[in-house]
Copies of this chain bind each other. A is one copy, B any other.
């Protein structure tokens, strides 16, 4: 590899890392190009040399993130014996990986903001669908193995996603230990609920 190419790749990574960190921490709009340059030492123009635009940079990060996340999961997945263990492993990776997925907060700004490009909109809808599909498969595995009661996997996938999205938002200002504890407790509740098994109650209507 060329020295130029190497350099290019390095700064790209540098910018990407700094930008991701800021996006995750502060959201999309609240993070300015100025701040990214300050965090990298690069200049404004350099960002636009390596990335098409702010949107482009963000989209690139989303793709990269998703790829890495899935890859890491594939490496670990087989270590877990049961579906329940997988759920805890899933939560742990969510916390350890970055304490939250950029998609949860920043991408939501995209969806809602008026300035959304069609390309971005499509890509984001796709990613949410992927997330739900992932969750559904996780739950389906447990059902197939007899660990989980058979029910509505699609609906439960939404509930799980909501739990994850909410936790990432609530845990943004807490320590890793606190976050891990919260996630673990959440999965525990997701699996076993909080009600006494004896006290069966149904929703009204």
Question: Could you give, for residues 141-181 of chain A, a 1 whenever the CB lies within 8 Å of some chain B CB and a 0 otherwise?
Answer: 01000111101100110110111111101101100000001
A185-B112 contact in complex given A139-B194, A165-B170, A191-B193, C-beta closer than 8 Å = no
Chain A: number of interface residues, binned into ranges: 35 or more
Q: Are B166 and A167 in contact (CB under 8 A)?
A: yes
User: CB within 8 Å of B: which of A99-155?
Assistant: 104-105, 108-109, 111-114, 139, 142, 146-149, 151-152, 155
Chain A to chain B: the 9 pairs with minimum beta-carbon distance, closest first: A166-B166, A162-B166, A193-B193, A84-B201, A165-B166, A192-B193, A191-B195, A162-B167, A159-B186
**A positions within 8 Å CB-CB of B:** 25-27, 29-30, 82, 84-85, 88-89, 104-105, 108-109, 111-114, 139, 142, 146-149, 151-152, 155-156, 158-159, 161-167, 169-170, 172-173, 181-182, 184-197, 199, 201, 203-204
Q: Pick the contact of A170: B88, B162, B193, B195 (CB < 8 A).
A: B162
Q: Are A190 and B189 in contact (CB under 8 A)?
A: yes
| Residue ID in chain B nearest A82 by CB atoms | B201
Nearest-Cβ distance from residue A108 to partner chain B, whole angstroms: 6
Task: Give Cα distance in the complex from A171 to B182, angstroms.
Answer: 23
Kindly list chain B residues whose C-beta atoms are within 8 Å of the C-beta of A88. Answer: 203-204
Kindly list chain B residues whose C-beta atoms are within 8 Å of the C-beta of A191. Answer: 193-195, 201
Q: Are B161 and A166 in contact (CB under 8 A)?
A: yes
Kindly list chain B residues whose C-beta atoms are within 8 Å of the C-beta of A170. Answer: 158, 161-162, 165
Q: Are B187 and A190 in contact (CB under 8 A)?
A: no
Task: Give Cα distance in the complex from A30 to B203, angstroms.
Answer: 37
Q: Are A195 and B113 in contact (CB under 8 A)?
A: no
Q: Identify which of A89, A173, A204 gathers the most chain B CB atoms within 10 Å of its CB.
A: A204
Kindly list chain B residues whose C-beta atoms are within 8 Å of the C-beta of A197. Answer: 197
